Amino acid sequence: MKEQSNTLKVGMVFISMIFFIFGFVTTFIITLSDPVKEAFNLSYTQAFLVNSAFFISYALFSIPAGGVIKRIGYKNAIVTGLLLVSLAGFLFFPAIRTESYLFFLGAIFILSMGVVLLQTAANPFVTALGPDETASGRLNLTQALNSIATWIAPLLIVALILPSQLPSGGASETSLTETVKVQPGDLLLPFIIIAVLVLIIAFAVWRIRLPELSQKGQGNYKTVFKYRHMLLGALAIFCYVGAEVGIGTAISSYIVLPEIGVGMSRELALKFVGLYWAGAMIGRLFGAIELSGIQKQKVKIAFAAIVMVWAFVVGFITLEYSLAKALIFFAFAIVNYLLMQLGKGKANTALSIFAGAAVVLAVVSMLATGNIALWTIVTIGLFNSIMFPNIFALAVRTLDKSEVSLASGVINTLIVGGAVIPLLMGVIGDAFGIQVSFVIPVLCYLYILYYAVSGSRVQT
């Protein structure tokens, strides 16, 4: 029993590492659209094709990935996914050197194939590593580690791509037009770093012993598709990922607009993108605490206090050591925690509250300007936090172990929302302005609210 427990702990450690990798890669690609727009001289619609090239593979490969995992097992699928990510990282070298945007999009597509395999394997692996009642808590914990990567990714873009573009006077809150343009070659270094590191991690995962999870049973796609709550959950994932990616993609372009009236530089705007993704990290840490098996309320409060301190530190570091901005983010984190208490540890109740909060924040961002518009759009990240893990956990409830990896393939197929929604927002942004395009995420969050309240009920 002790050996089995240790094996499961090793499994959680390494699967958390996988969540970190695909979280970093995903957010790096999403945040890259603004520098890519400048480097290749693109429109909003063309630049948002970066997201489409990445997320379209979910529609094409998630269901086949579920079948592959069922045949070769979780560990082999994870190693294969890592190797695909590494291969794609090296392919960016010829794509960027030839300054071919089409080749660049092709490399992103191959990168995303690896991420699809990783994510299709990782989510059911976590749910299977313990009892069903704490599955949402485990997913929130691993997604929180995923979100640490999503916080770091935009900061890496600022550190490795943008600094060399600043005028000799140094960093200042100048407008986009006062900086030197990003060139395609400036995008290369991060991809080479990703390729090398992921290749090393693939070798390490291949060498370690992961717990073998049974997939025996009569589960097949015919049985999987009979679950109404799973199918509606897949659609909720479409809406969630589309809204989250669409907003994350638009933020840096949105808050530097003169009509918003913030007067912010591109560099600081990208750091606010980092804060948006950091909000998901903070919210998921709260979710991991509230939806875990911890019984003592004092212990939960102690852990929550640590997370609140971390929220302040993250805000302070991310936003150029501004005490005022860090305190604002800290206040929103406290509100996030208090609203989570209303969820009473129930995945569907917490999901409904957070979806409602996201609707309110997105609507205010559409109608407001200045700092109100800035903070309402950025802090949606806090309320996006528990959506994916809670939707996934609700969607695979009552499924047989032999059906979970297949259901994960179906659910992950609808992550293609990350390709469709941002592109639609880009079209609306070109026609009517980025601020108007936020109506699409509002509609997405309304559907998630429906799923939490009604669609997630298991029908017998």
- Taking only the tens place, the pLDDT of each residue in 282-338 is 998 888 787 766 777 888 889 999 999 999 999 999 888 999 999 999 999 999 999
Helix H or strand E segment including 453:
none
Q: DSSP of 211-263, one letter per residue? A: PPPP--SS--HHHHTT-HHHHHHHHHHHHHHHHHHHHHHHHHHHTT-GGGT--
Residue written as tokens 């259901």?
Answer: 407
pLDDT beyond 50 at 59:
yes
Which of the given ranges, 44-58, 103-117, 213-227, 404-418, has the highest pLDDT on average? 103-117
Q: What percent of the chain has pLDDT over 90?
A: 30
Residue 130, pLDDT > 70, answer no
Pairwise CA distance, residues 340 & 347, whole Å: 10
Q: Tell me the pLDDT of the chain averaged across its residues.
A: 83
- Check pLDDT > 70 for residue 418: yes
What structural domains does the chain harbor?
Answer: 2-208+219-455 (1.20.1250.20)
The pTM of the full predicted model, rounded to 2 decimals, is 0.76
**Does residue 131 or residue 91 have the better pLDDT?**
91
pLDDT of residue 8: 59
Query: What is the C-alpha to C-alpha distance for residues 343 and 357, in angstroms, rounded to an integer?
Result: 13
Q: Which of 4-18, 75-89, 306-320 has the lowest mean pLDDT?
A: 4-18
pLDDT confidence of residue 44:
74
Q: How many CB atoms lie within 10 A of CB 299?
A: 12
Residue bearing the bigger pLDDT, 458 or 93: 93
DSSP three-state, residue 180? coil
d(CA 425, CA 446): 17
More confident residue, 224 or 132: 224
Alpha helices in 129-187 (DSSP H): 135-160
Query: 16-30, 143-157, 437-451 — which is least confidently predicted?
Result: 143-157
Q: Is the dihedral of CA 9, 11, 17, 20 positive or negative?
A: negative
Q: Between 169 and 408, where is the model more confident?
A: 408
Average the pLDDT over 431-450 and give the result. 93
CA separation for the pair 259, 370 (Å, rounded): 8
120, two tokens:
């299709």
pLDDT tens digits, 357-405: 999 999 999 988 888 989 999 999 999 988 988 898 899 888 877 777 7
Q: What is the average per-residue pLDDT within 36-60?
A: 83
Q: Given pLDDT bands bounded at 50, 70 and 90, which one contains residue 177? A: very low
Instruction: Please report which confidence band the pLDDT of residue 47 belongs to, taking 50, 70 and 90 as the band edges.
Output: confident
pLDDT the model gives residue 230:
92
Q: Which residue has the higher pLDDT, 167 or 44?
A: 44
Phi, psi of 173 (to 5 degrees): -85, 70
Using CA atoms of 36, 38, 40, 46 in order, give the dihedral in degrees to the nearest 10: 70
Higher confidence at residue 404 or residue 417? 417
Positions of E strands within 240-375: none
User: Alpha-carbon distance 415 to 234, whole Å?
Assistant: 8
CA distance linking residue 140 with residue 162, whole number of Å:
32
More confident residue, 29 or 214: 29
Q: Is the pLDDT of residue 269 over 90?
A: no
Highest mean pLDDT among 18-22, 335-339, 431-435: 335-339
Residue 283 zone, left/alpha/beta (φ > 0; ψ -120 to 50; rest): alpha
Q: What is the pLDDT of residues 137-176, one digit of tens each?
A: 677 777 777 777 767 877 777 777 764 444 444 444 444 3
87 pLDDT band, cuts 50/70/90, is very high
Query: Residue 18: which of 130, 136, 121, 109 has the closest Cα?
Result: 121
Q: Which has more pLDDT, 263 or 86? A: 86
